[in-house]
Structure 1
Amino acid sequence: MSGARQKTSGDDALRSPLLARIAAAQDGLRKSERTVAEFVLAQPSIVLNLSIAELAARTGVSQPTVARFAAALGFSGYREFKLRLAQSLASGLPFIHQDVGPDDALELVAPKVFDRAIGGLIDVRNHLDSAALARAVKLLAKARRIDFCGIGNSGIVALDGQHKFFRYGMPCIAYIDTHAMLMAATVVGRGDAVVAISATGRTTDMLAAAEIARESGAAVIAITASDSPLARLATVTLAADVAEDADIYSPMISRIAHLAIVDVLAVGTALALGPPLLKRLERGKRTLHDKRVHRVES
């Protein structure tokens, strides 16, 4: 069972940024560490009362495996992990498992999809690194050229990024074809920015493009999972740790979260560019004015 479909029980029904982070990191863990992760996701409040030996016994793994699990998440040890888990649960959101199931009646689909989207957006908002965001905006505002790169679902986000930023008068393009993406990565240089978008951060072509772009001298801004190869390759990472079951339905929540981050970058860059941009946007608005059917007053 994937992390996205884990359920907490009873009064433990809390969703927290740390639980979302654990779920997102599961694919990168060893098999025995994933066993620990699944237990934590299923019964987080019970874990708070377990020693490392007790958790090892409950999950059928060794104590060093539990320690490695905590270390894989970036903690100094099991004690720090439990402290952060307690803090995360205390500030968490009500967790309602809202993934659509194959036996759900149609009238349940809309509320479940909306509730998962809202919960995912709030998780990402609460976890967004303001320092990384400021750095990304600075790179974009000064960029000679911006390449938005995405494959599959992430390609939709890349196209949206191009649509928003070209209005600023900035040379930008979206690459959704992997061959073109790799070729483009070879011709960017210092002063250019590449926005690499990937839900998993593990797609081989995206990783190759990001690595080539860095070698070419460009800054790479990654919108991806925090504990991923792409995040480690990037100049700046804007983490979107969203748990969803991609094995059953195509990723939806991560795409919405990525679109929201692109919106934040667009607004932040517009503010950084200042008053001259407002005049440009106003000209664009006047250009489109006659393309709309105007409301007739009764």
Structure 2
Amino acid sequence: MPPILPDLHGRLSQLSRAAARVAQFIIAQPADASRMAISELAEVAQVSEPTVIRLCRTLGYGGWPDFKVQLAASLISGVPYVHSALNPHDDIPTLSNKIFDNAVSALLRVRDTLAPDQVARAIDRLSQARRIEFHGLGNSGIVANDAQLKFFRFDLAVVAYTDSHTQSMAAALLGPQDVLIAISHSGRSRELLDATALAQSNGCPIIAITASGSPLAGLADILLQSDIQEDTDLYSPMISRLAHLAIIDVLALGLALRCGAQASHALGRTKQGLKGKR
């Protein structure tokens, strides 16, 4: 879906007079609009609530709540590779504040949209799995490797694969007693989708950490959604990676609590193994 504000501006000439008033207010004051109830926006723009709903649907959204969430998310940007979004005159404290503020805001938004019932189902599946695999490509591969380091300490059969050929071979061996956790910011990496679909065809439960509405989300039995709008052509996908790492921590700690003394004992043994290295 195109970036919201440029898309909205480009459609102004095609909108009715009433819908254009709504669009113009959103373009002029996006932060205020993202916090408004539909009745408040309709009153400010001097239109009816159905006019607001029709505008949202014209833009491809389900309604005002869906549009409002995406609008708020679009106001949070990542860290540009070339720093074009930063003011050349920013001092170091300002630079640091912008980066940390963006990250904190995005993490809170993911926290608030993460469905507790889906997290609980994921932990249930993981606690019963014969084998757990984490698949991710590129930046998501970093998250997959981090997940392996966290989960294997519970004395579980865990592996992370970040090569697409290995993922396809491994997916062919997964079955109903296993769990595949597929990780992707966009949810559109073709090779990851192919491996995930292969595992799914073998009856393997799929847990996806990805954007809602993505092709990967459509393959998931359990979706742990992470809706962060980052233009990965211009921006380093740092914030989505932080959110995915946080979700992995939620799963790891939830599983540790579920396993109880067994997990504590395994963790103690791994720490004992490091004593001579410090």
Which category of TM-score, normalised to the shorter sequence, fits these structures? 0.7 to 0.9
1:244 corresponds to which of 230, 235, 244: 230
2:249 corresponds to which of 260, 263, 277: 263
Compared CA separation, residues 175 and 253, structure 1 to 2 (3 A): same
Q: Aligned equivalents of 2:211 and 2:135: distance in 1?
A: 16
Offset of 1:55 from its aligned partner? 5.8
Sequence identity percentage: 40
Offset of 1:283 from its aligned partner? 1.5
Q: Who is 2:19 aligned against?
A: none
Compared CA separation, residues 53 and 166, structure 1 to 2 (3 A): closer
Return the letter of the residue paired with 2:64: K
Compared CA separation, residues 97 and 248, structure 1 to 2 (3 A): closer
Aligned pair count reads 249
Q: Who is 1:113 aligned against?
A: 99
Bigger mean CA offset, 281-290 vs 183-192? 281-290
Offset of 1:96 from its aligned partner? 7.2
CA RMSD of aligned residues (A): 3.5
1:82 corresponds to which of 64, 76, 89: 64
The secondary structure found in structure 2 opposite 1:290 is helix
Q: Aligned equivalents of 2:252 and 2:149: distance in 1?
A: 10
Compared CA separation, residues 177 and 41, structure 1 to 2 (3 A): farther
Q: Aligned equivalents of 2:26 and 2:139: distance in 1?
A: 27
Compared CA separation, residues 85 and 203, structure 1 to 2 (3 A): closer
Return the letter of the residue paired with 1:174: A
What is the TM-score when the length of structure 2 is the normalising length?
Answer: 0.77
What is the TM-score when the length of structure 1 is the normalising length?
Answer: 0.73
Q: Aligned equivalents of 1:243 and 1:209: distance in 2?
A: 25
Q: Who is 2:161 aligned against?
A: 175
1:287 corresponds to which of 265, 273, 277: 273
Q: Aligned equivalents of 2:243 and 2:76: distance in 1?
A: 18
1:189-208 to 2 correspondences below 5 Å: 189-208=175-194
Q: Aligned equivalents of 1:84 and 1:150: distance in 2?
A: 28
Offset of 1:152 from its aligned partner? 0.5
Segments of 5+ residues of structure 2 without an aligned counterpart are 16-22
Q: Aligned equivalents of 1:98 and 1:184: distance in 2?
A: 33
Offset of 1:83 from its aligned partner? 6.0
Segments of 5+ residues of structure 1 without an aligned counterpart are 8-25, 57-62, 76-80, 293-298
